[in-house]
């Protein structure tokens, strides 16, 4: 878990040390355990390694500290690294990592959970190892299998690897895109980094030429979608696609290769009986949890009280060497508080249970730093609450947190899947199944709001001749992109879209930036690619059955969790009292609407969007990054502090310690 950055000059000009230093400083919150640099000549394969101000003493004793006046003549590739140590805490895990044969150099952000199995296989093939790091396993795997090695890794990553034998730089990203990797092409150079703010240090962009990508802005304001295309809110700054690898050369980015894809064919019920499906799913999830407990630092599990996180806790309590340290969040309002469910689960399992009360009222505090950290609009202020929650976890010693992320997307946990499942049943002549789902649908018991949503989804999907289309919001001043839409033609389309475009990519990137601002590493066993492969190949009828969402996961966990947990009807997710938060923020919202200037919104119709956080966060992003209006944020934070003084947290997130917007 770290931060990486790099520069490749396609015209073979020398890379300036100052650019690398600025890029590294912009992402220093991602890891202060160590710092390192390498400058390489693609013409001679010569290189120079450097320490940084935050490097460990052993590294400073081995190599000079890079400064902006260093002579880099002939060095046309530069890589930088910030380390957050999780596996092999010694200096031997320093990056940029050079393998013992000097064949390749790597900067790497992420974790490889099956590194021990890969290491054993590589040792059988004659490879030598001089550290216990997963980074060295990546290097030796590449030397053995080349770019095919990326398909053998189980984990999440953004990798930049320079191959001295071929004098080429390769970039790669994990299957689902959990670890970010952004890039831009400017002035005959390619720049890349773990966060956009590092790329904004590029001289051509620092001079105030940053523009808005209007297509991305439109999809966010109209649909609430972000990251579903490989572009960002910043024009000409892009995201490397998930599950890809590529050479960084004159053909970039048109030379992208993909090493994995979600299976698009699902099995029929006759191909895999329920008992077999449950048994195989349990074994895969069990191993996914097992390898994610590997670490040289303390870990905890977040327990919401729902099925997904409860499953992770239950399995971990069976296989962990020590009692799992389990944490849940508690809210004062009964309708938002899931802690009683979590407590009941913890009492049934052998876990060390802890409760955190996050200060919700303080979500407006440090708003400028938080907006800068996320660097693009985000969906809800509950991300700030998440971070306050993680900060308290970090103060208790936790550096790794396991979550149940992915269960809703893999096993059809959202309400809008229901009408699509019914349509599939009708098309497949499974009338009995359709009737059972309608009569027993658990969400029916959640009240009028859920049922009104169901009626809307039916109108939108079941009756094309009276289709309810998503009407263009008439306060948006952006022309809709031509010929592009977000179709949900079927149950399968919706599941594939959520896993690859409209949901998961956003969740993973927003959670990465949120957690790495602290920093704390978030691991998601249900997003192990083997779980994804298997879940996405199961019969659709196993996902929603007898009125239950996530039916197959419930069947799988029947002998692991108490019955009242497995078959609990009420679904909450991560609760947040949004309506109360907005209603209590009128003074701040009035200030934003009065002082903001944004050509993409009609402020005369602000009554349509003043309580919509998607729009509010877009306004705040535009004010900071485009208008550079720091004064507005100063006023907001003054109002927020007058209303609720900033909480005295036992641990200050790293990004707040170093924040500087210039």
Residue-wise pLDDT for 520-575, tens only, equals 999 999 999 999 999 999 999 999 999 899 999 999 999 999 898 899 877 666 66
| CB neighbourhood size of 605 (10 A) | 13
Nearest to 175 by CA among 266, 244, 106, 108: 244
The per-residue pLDDT for range 84-95, each reduced to its tens digit, is 999 999 999 999
Across the range 183-196, mean pLDDT stands at 96
* Better-scored residue on pLDDT, 638 or 452: 638
CA–CA separation, 311 and 324 (whole Å) = 13
Q: What span, in angstroms and rounded, lies between the C-alpha atoms of 157 and 529?
A: 13
For the chain, what are the domain ranges? 2-258, 273-411+493-662, 412-492
Residue 422: Cβ-neighbour burial (10 angstroms; 0-12, 13-18, 19+): buried
Cβ–Cβ under 8 Å, residues 150 and 172: yes
Q: Where are the alpha helices (DSSP H) in 224-330?
A: 274-291, 307-319
- Reply yes or no on whether the pLDDT at 598 is more than 50: yes
Residues 366-405: tens digit of each pLDDT:
999 999 999 999 999 989 888 888 998 999 999 999 999 9
- Look at residue 195 and give its three-state secondary structure: coil
How is residue 615 written in tokens?
């729009």
Mean pLDDT of 408-416: 92
Would you say 399 and 86 are in contact if contact means Cβ atoms under 8 Å apart?
yes
551-556-558 Cα angle (round to 5): 95
Sign of the CA dihedral with 6 first, then 8, 9, and 13 last: positive
Residue 403: closest CA among 226, 521, 549, 529:
521
How much is the pLDDT for 554? Answer: 97
Where do we find the tokens 């396993």?
137
Cβ–Cβ under 8 Å, residues 380 and 611: no
pLDDT tens for 102-155 read 999 999 999 999 999 999 999 999 999 999 999 999 999 999 999 999 999 999
What is the value of pTM for the model shown?
0.94
Q: Do domains 2-258 and 273-411+493-662 have the same CATH topology?
A: no
Which stretch, 486-500, 574-588, 628-642, has highest mean pLDDT?
628-642
* pLDDT over threshold 90, residue 581: no
Whole-number Cα distances in Å, 310 to 341, 351, 583:
10, 12, 33
Q: Residue 432 above 90 pLDDT? A: no
* pLDDT (mean) for 147-171: 97
- Identify the band that residue 465 occupies on the pLDDT scale cut at 50, 70 and 90: very low
| Mean pLDDT across 350-379 | 89
Name the one residue in this structure whose structure tokens are 């923020």. Answer: 585
**In the beta sheet, which residues pair with residue 110?**
157
pLDDT score of 64 = 96
Pick the CATH number of 2-258 from 3.40.640.10, 3.40.50.970, 3.60.20.10, 3.30.2130.10: 3.60.20.10
d(CA 315, CA 308): 11
Name the pLDDT band for 454 (thresholds 50, 70, 90). Answer: low
Average pLDDT, the chain: 90
Q: Tell me which residue of 55, 66, 62, 88 sits closest to 20, measured CA to CA.
A: 66
- Assigned token pair, 62: 């081995």
Determine whether 451 is exposed, middle or buried from the number of CB atoms within 10 Å of its CB (0-12, 13-18, 19+).
Answer: middle
Q: Is the pLDDT of residue 471 over 50?
A: no
In terms of CATH, what superfamily is 273-411+493-662? HUPs (3.40.50.620)
How close are the terminal C-alpha atoms of the chain, in Å? Answer: 26
Q: Which of 3-7, 308-312, 327-331 has the lowest mean pLDDT?
A: 327-331
* pLDDT of the residue at 321: 87
Q: How far is CA 515 from CA 108, 133, 374, 509, 523, in A?
A: 17, 22, 10, 10, 11
pLDDT at 569: 76
- Residues 230, 214: Cα–Cα separation, whole Å: 14
pLDDT of residue 484: 59
Q: How confident is the model at residue 647 (pLDDT cuts 50, 70, 90)?
A: low
Confidence check: pLDDT of 577 > 90:
no
């Amino acid at each position: 878990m770290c931060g990486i950055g790099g520069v490749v000059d396609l015209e073979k000009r020398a890379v300036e040390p100052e650019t690398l230093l600025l890029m590294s400083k912009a992402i220093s919150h991602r890891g202060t355990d160590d710092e390192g640099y390498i400058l390489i000549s693609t013409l001679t394969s010569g290189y120079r390694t450097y320490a940084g101000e935050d490097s460990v003493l052993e590294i400073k004793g081995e190599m000079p500290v890079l400064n902006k006046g260093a002579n880099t003549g002939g060095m046309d590739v530069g890589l930088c690294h910030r380390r957050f140590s999780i596996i092999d805490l010694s200096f031997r895990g320093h990056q940029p990592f050079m393998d013992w044969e000097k064949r390749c150099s790597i900067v790497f952000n992420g974790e490889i959970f099956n590194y021990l199995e890969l290491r054993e296989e590589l040792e059988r093939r004659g490879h030598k190892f001089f550290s216990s790091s997963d980074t060295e396993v990546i290097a030796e795997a590449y030397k053995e299998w080349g770019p095919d090695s990326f398909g053998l890794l189980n984990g999440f990553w953004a990798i930049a690897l320079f191959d001295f034998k071929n004098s080429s730089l390769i970039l790669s990203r994990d299957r689902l895109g959990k670890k970010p990797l952004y890039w831009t092409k400017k002035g005959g150079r390619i720049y890349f980094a773990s966060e956009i703010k590092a790329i904004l240090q590029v001289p051509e962009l620092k001079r105030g030429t940053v523009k808005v990508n209007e297509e991305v802005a439109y999809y966010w304001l109209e649909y609430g979608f972000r990251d579903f295309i490989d572009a960002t809110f910043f024009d000409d700054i892009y995201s490397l696609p998930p599950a890809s690898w590529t050479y960084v050369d004159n053909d970039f980015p048109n030379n992208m290769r993909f090493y994995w894809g979600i299976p698009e064919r699902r099995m029929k019920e006759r191909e895999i009986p329920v008992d077999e499906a449950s048994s195989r799913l349990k074994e895969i999830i069990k191993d996914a949890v097992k390898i994610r407990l590997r670490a040289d630092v303390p870990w905890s599990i977040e327990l919401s009280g729902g099925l997904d996180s409860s499953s992770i806790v239950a399995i971990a309590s069976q296989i962990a060497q020590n009692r799992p340290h389990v944490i849940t969040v508690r809210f004062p309002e009964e309708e938002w508080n899931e802690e009683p469910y979590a407590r009941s689960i913890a009492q049934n399992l052998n876990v060390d249970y802890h409760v955190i009360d996050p200060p919700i009222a303080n979500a407006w505090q440090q708003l400028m730093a938080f907006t800068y950290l996320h660097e693009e609009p985000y969906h809800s202020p509950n991300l700030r609450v998440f971070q306050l929650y993680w900060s308290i976890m970090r103060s208790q010693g936790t550096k790794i947190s396991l979550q149940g992320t992915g269960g809703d997307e893999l096993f059809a946990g959202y309400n809008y899947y229901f009408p699509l499942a019914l349509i599939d049943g009708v098309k497949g002549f499974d009338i009995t199944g359709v009737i059972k789902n309608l009569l027993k649908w658990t969400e029916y018991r959640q009240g009028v709001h859920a049922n009104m949503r169901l009626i809307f989804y039916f109108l939108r999907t079941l009756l094309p001749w009276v289709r309810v289309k998503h009407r263009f919001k008439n306060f948006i001043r952006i022309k809709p992109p031509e010929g592009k839409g977000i179709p949900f033609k079927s149950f399968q389309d919706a599941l594939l879209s959520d896993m690859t475009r409209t949901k998961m990519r956003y969740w993973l990137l927003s959670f990465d930036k949120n957690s790495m601002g602290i920093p704390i590493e978030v691991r998601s066993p249900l997003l192990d690619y083997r779980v994804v492969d298997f879940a996405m190949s199961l019969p659709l009828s196993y996902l929603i059955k007898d009125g239950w969402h996530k039916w197959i996961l419930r069947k799988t966990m029947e002998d692991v969790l108490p019955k009242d947990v497995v078959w609990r009807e009420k679904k909450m997710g991560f609760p947040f009292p949004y309506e109360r938060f907005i209603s209590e923020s009128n003074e701040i919202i009035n200030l934003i609407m009065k002082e903001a200037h944004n050509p993409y919104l009609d402020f005369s119709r602000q009554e349509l969007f003043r309580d919509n956080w998607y729009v509010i966060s877009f306004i705040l992003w535009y004010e900071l990054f485009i208008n550079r209006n720091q004064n507005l944020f100063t006023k907001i934070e003054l109002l927020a502090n007058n209303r609720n003084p900033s909480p005295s947290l036992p641990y200050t997130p790293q990004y707040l310690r170093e924040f500087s917007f210039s």
